[in-house]
Amino acid sequence: MASLPWVVLLSGLVGALVGATAAILSQFVADWLARKRELGRFRVQSFERFRREFSEDATLRAIATRYPDDRLENKEIEDYLGFFEEIGIYADRDLVDVELVDLILGDAITECYEDRDIMDFVRSVRQEEGDSSYFEFFEKLAAKLVAARNQRRLRNRP
């Protein structure tokens, strides 16, 4: 009978430890779910900001209206790719929904990526600056979009 208080005390401590562990674990799970939900919301908001800027910015709108029918001047290429570079940075850090980017801006991004004159401009900037990182995020994003489109074509082939 003398050991009974120790058993009760020990079972109480184990119960408290299990309860505290479960509470802490549930808090971590709740925090993880909240962060995931917030990141998803931020990714969509980031996309919306880029979509709005692409359609409302006078310079970008003028370039998009002319391109690809007309050749762009170097400053226009720089502005256009600079915008896509920013999207690429967000995409690289998983801060924008790339599927939405592909649906709305993907054609413009991939057209630039597949345009010899524009990619020659990218190479010349990199060479002049001695820095191969210029427009690297645009290039990564465009390559990712092209690869995804090629995969869709293969899947949807009759």
> How does residue 43 score in pLDDT terms, banded at 50, 70 and 90?
confident
Could you tell me the CA-to-CA distances from 151 to 87, 92, 123, 158 in Å, in that order? 22, 20, 27, 14
pLDDT of residue 29: 81
DSSP labels, 4-45:
HHHHHHHHHHHHHHHHHHHHHHHHHHHHHHHHHHHHHHHHHH
Residue 62: inside a domain: yes
pLDDT of residue 16: 84
Residue 87: inside a domain: yes
pLDDT tens per residue across span 106-144: 999 999 999 999 999 999 999 999 999 999 999 999 999
8 A C-beta contact, residue 64 and residue 112: no
8 A C-beta contact, residue 88 and residue 108: no
Q: How far is CA 93 from the centre of its chain?
A: 6
Domain count across the chain: 1
Residue 23: inside a domain: no
Q: Is the peptide bond before 68 cis (omega within 30 degrees of 0)?
A: yes
Give residue 89's domain range.
Answer: 40-155
Residue 9: inside a domain: no
Residue 103: inside a domain: yes
Residue 106: inside a domain: yes
Residue 54: inside a domain: yes
8 A C-beta contact, residue 57 and residue 105: no
Average confidence score pLDDT of the chain: 89
Residue 18: inside a domain: no
For the chain, the straight-line distance linking the first and the last C-alpha, in angstroms and rounded, comes to 80
pLDDT of residue 2: 55
pTM, full prediction: 0.76
